[in-house]
Structure 1
Amino acid sequence: MKKYSKSFKALWIGEIVSELGSAAGGITNGLLLYEITGSKEWMGILWLVYFIPSLILQSVTAPFLNHVEKGKMIRNIQLIRSSAYLLPLIGFVIDKNIGTIIGLIALQFILGLMQPIYASLSFSLLPEVCEKKDLTEANGLLDGTIRLMSFLAPGITSLLLLAVHMQFIYMFSCIMFGISYISLCQMSSSSKQTVPVWTKKLWWGEMKEGYRTFFKYKYLLRLTFLSSTVQFAVGATTVLSIPFIRSDLNGESWEYGIFAGAFPIGYVIGMLLLKKIPKTYVTMHLGLIGGGLSFVFLFFVKSIPAAWMCELIGGVLFPLFNSQSAAIFQSQAPKERLAQLSAVRLLFLRVTMPIGIVFASTSFFDLSTRQAYGIVGLAIVLPGLFYLFFFKTINNILESE
């Protein structure tokens, strides 16, 4: 950590504590809503309230992100999210059932609007607070610790639930985002930005130019496509993992818990491994292909320990691709449009996740859980092999750094 700047450490701490608060709040959202309604349909509605406005906003707001002070904007977003976590608690005080549901919907709506803006800006801030040569490891550090928080959050939430009523977990989330705001205040701005007067003409022109620029950089487009296949798999596995362990392998709840925790633990190991291996075109794609094969192997496994091992190995390998591809995007995209292009990139990634959810949950394809895992894995492996052997542009970029 000594080689990283004070601003990067502030961003890193802000990301860690906010992810912990977000994960704890997300767990409580599902538990609380199911306790009130007992309905899977309401669970789906809650996620649609998060995703649909989020995707619509993200598709049209990319031009704005080139004309805001990034540090100030992400601090304000953390304050908004901190306040929003109080809404279910306020709703509970007003009315135990209806008030809580309204508070949950309002919370999800606000989080859905804020998340893509925050993610795009924090992604584009990283090259400003980190040396170019350290971008790959910095991305791995951020990604790995965030996933570690998502692993720790269920246990921390369970301990909190032993001490306080479920609704008061939202106070914990509120405090975590408040701490994140304080940490982000320690970041120093690298440049003073003059924000132009905003007009409709400017918005429309910037919108077209942003998408045109994104599609002009073919190697960045290819990396985004490959990252999208991973997000498609993430969406599908949110539906597949429980029935796979509980039904296909007849596992217990605690065995599913280990299965769910194996991937983030593996991801942390992969983050550490990333510091030791050469950062090349080949290792980046082998990480992607190996991670995809971990899903394919779930088609064949007959025992729960084998399933745990597949998830662990997938977690170890995927950072080799994710961190290097993110660093390439950050270093090769035009700096003056990085925030905007990051938003376009994130839009593609976030769209594919609900597509994966729909693919895994619909009965239209009439696939077993194992077959779905096999298809999801091949959707990562086949493009990865194709780009590994037929495109060398990214290899030249990596070698020149």
Structure 2
Amino acid sequence: MKGVKLLYYNQLLSVFASTFGTFLLSWILYEETGSKLAMGTLWLVSISGQMIVQFIAGPCIDHFKRTSVMRGSEALRAFVYLLLLLFITAGFNEAALLYAAAFFTSITAYDPAAAALVPKLVHKEELVKVNAGISGGVQLMRFLTLPAAGFLVSILNNKSSLILVVCAFSLSFITIGFLIEKPAEFENKAPWIKKFKEGMLIYRKHKMLLFLGGLVSITSFGVFAAQTMYIPFVAEVLGGSSIEYGLFAASFPLGYIAGSFAASRVKVRESSIYQVMMLALFIGGSTYLALGAAKTLAMAIIIEIAAGAAMPFWNVYSTTLYQKLVPQSILGQVFSVRFLLTKAAAPLGIVYGTACASQFGIEALFLSIGAIICTVSGGGLLFMVFRSRSAFFLHKRL
């Protein structure tokens, strides 16, 4: 379990660096422009970079050691933030630099590589517990980082904050070198297109994975539409500062920590796991409806905590299903395909969120998102319940 602990602590460090970095880029841009369109563009640029790298590099992840992919990702992000620091020091503060930084720091395969590394370190029976522990720890770090970032941004200048981000990514790069990953015989050098097709074939073999991927793709449309407007929501609707935004942004991770603790201990029957996952998404959609009516920071924080508490029952079980059903030889690229399915509708969501908030207001945006997610996840829940009952009656007849 020593390797798992080291991976756990490294992910915490990486999350601190990436969360602080993203917070910093977003806040600097909003301070410079005060524009909802600029915030939407920043998210769109970031998501585009993530999708490109997962499509191109995803099938190649299993060609290399997972730790090598993780180190490469951290090195790239440290280098990009260092370049941004140098440009700002030289007096260049154009928004284009922030867009470029958001794009290049999103070109990372750290997360799918780390997820694919976990089954090499633990037994299958321990996957749910380990995934829940890592997921909860990651959200705990986000919970701690976001208000800390808001506080640090308010007392430090941009240069000092960027130096802190560069140092964190550099330290993460160094600590990954202490992770001992046993070489696997199955890692091969098959052509890119063959590896990508192998990843896609898993979804044909396990139709439920494709169904879940499509469902969360639609849900992510709403999630990214909302997240794009979180800073304007806190600043304009709630009248908050960077510190208040940090507290609001930390609310979801706080709830997620409690939800992860529950997910690792609640015993869910295998026949009911899909219904539980659908219910988690439905609860998440309901919180957007509530957020659309929130008028105070305290109420918004409570709503986000509730949303965070529900999500581990989707994320933890989903990740565990993949790790159990997918062969280790192609797990890296399958995680990348899952990422693509999850983010496929994100650009449309960002465009919708920016346009809707600008035209009708942020509250109307949240209400529409809640309606979309509740409709989709509620339909999925009914389908799962009907499917489960049909299978039960068929079994009784036989």
Equivalent positions of 1:2-401 (< 5 A) are 5-37=1-33, 39-98=35-94, 101=95, 103-114=97-108, 117-161=109-153, 164-193=156-185, 196=188, 202-239=191-228, 241=230, 251-253=238-240, 258-280=247-269, 281=273, 282-298=275-291, 306-363=299-356, 368-369=364-365, 371-392=367-388
CA distance in 1 between counterparts of 2:174 and 2:298 reads: 42
After superposing the two structures, state which structure 1 stretch, 250-259 or 20-29, moved more.
250-259
Q: Deviations over 1:227-282 (max 9, x none)?
A: 334433321221455666677xx634177665433222111111112233113314
CA distance in 2 between counterparts of 1:35 and 1:277 reads: 44
Q: Do 1:148 and 1:264's aligned partners in 2 also have CA atoms closer than 8 Å?
A: yes
CA distance in 2 between counterparts of 1:92 and 1:177 reads: 19
Q: Do 1:62 and 1:344's aligned partners in 2 also have CA atoms closer than 8 Å?
A: yes
CA distance in 2 between counterparts of 1:241 and 1:105 reads: 18
Q: Do 2:36 and 2:232's aligned partners in 1 also have CA atoms closer than 8 Å?
A: no
Q: Which runs of 5+ in 1 are unaligned?
A: 397-401
TM-score (norm 2): 0.83
CA distance in 2 between counterparts of 1:267 and 1:171 reads: 29
Q: Deviations over 1:327-377 (max 9, x none)?
A: 011111122211111110011112233332223332499682353143233
Q: Deviations over 1:72-120 (max 9, x none)?
A: 221222122222210111112333335xx56534432321222xx2222
CA distance in 2 between counterparts of 1:388 and 1:186 reads: 44
Q: Do 2:61 and 2:69's aligned partners in 1 also have CA atoms closer than 8 Å?
A: no
Equivalent position SS for 1:113:
coil
Q: Could you tell me which amino acid in structure 1 is paired with residue 115 of structure 2?
A: F
CA distance in 2 between counterparts of 1:41 and 1:306 reads: 26
Q: Do 1:86 and 1:170's aligned partners in 2 also have CA atoms closer than 8 Å?
A: yes
CA distance in 1 between counterparts of 2:150 and 2:231 reads: 19
Query: Which residue is equivalent to 2:395?
Result: none
Q: Do 1:279 and 1:324's aligned partners in 2 also have CA atoms closer than 8 Å?
A: no
CA distance in 1 between counterparts of 2:126 and 2:321 reads: 11
The change in CA–CA distance for 1:161 and 1:283 in structure 2 (over 3 A counts) is: closer
The change in CA–CA distance for 1:68 and 1:377 in structure 2 (over 3 A counts) is: same
The change in CA–CA distance for 1:376 and 1:148 in structure 2 (over 3 A counts) is: farther
CA distance in 2 between counterparts of 1:68 and 1:259 reads: 39
After superposing the two structures, state which structure 1 stretch, 168-177 or 291-300, moved more.
291-300
Equivalent position SS for 1:275:
helix
Q: Identity percentage over the alignment?
A: 27
Q: Do 2:202 and 2:326's aligned partners in 1 also have CA atoms closer than 8 Å?
A: no
The change in CA–CA distance for 1:12 and 1:288 in structure 2 (over 3 A counts) is: same
Query: Which residue is equivalent to 2:396?
Result: none
After superposing the two structures, state which structure 1 stretch, 298-307 or 11-20, moved more.
298-307
CA distance in 1 between counterparts of 2:100 and 2:301 reads: 37
Equivalent position SS for 2:106:
helix
Equivalent position SS for 1:96:
coil
Q: Do 2:17 and 2:165's aligned partners in 1 also have CA atoms closer than 8 Å?
A: yes
Give the count of matched residue pairs. 382
After superposing the two structures, state which structure 1 stretch, 154-163 or 273-282, moved more.
154-163
| Structural RMSD (CA) | 3.2
What displacement does 1:300 show? 6.2
Query: Which residue is equivalent to 1:399?
Result: none
Q: Deviations over 1:111-137 (max 9, x none)?
A: 1222xx222211211211222122223
Q: Do 1:295 and 1:374's aligned partners in 2 also have CA atoms closer than 8 Å?
A: yes
CA distance in 2 between counterparts of 1:361 and 1:37 reads: 15
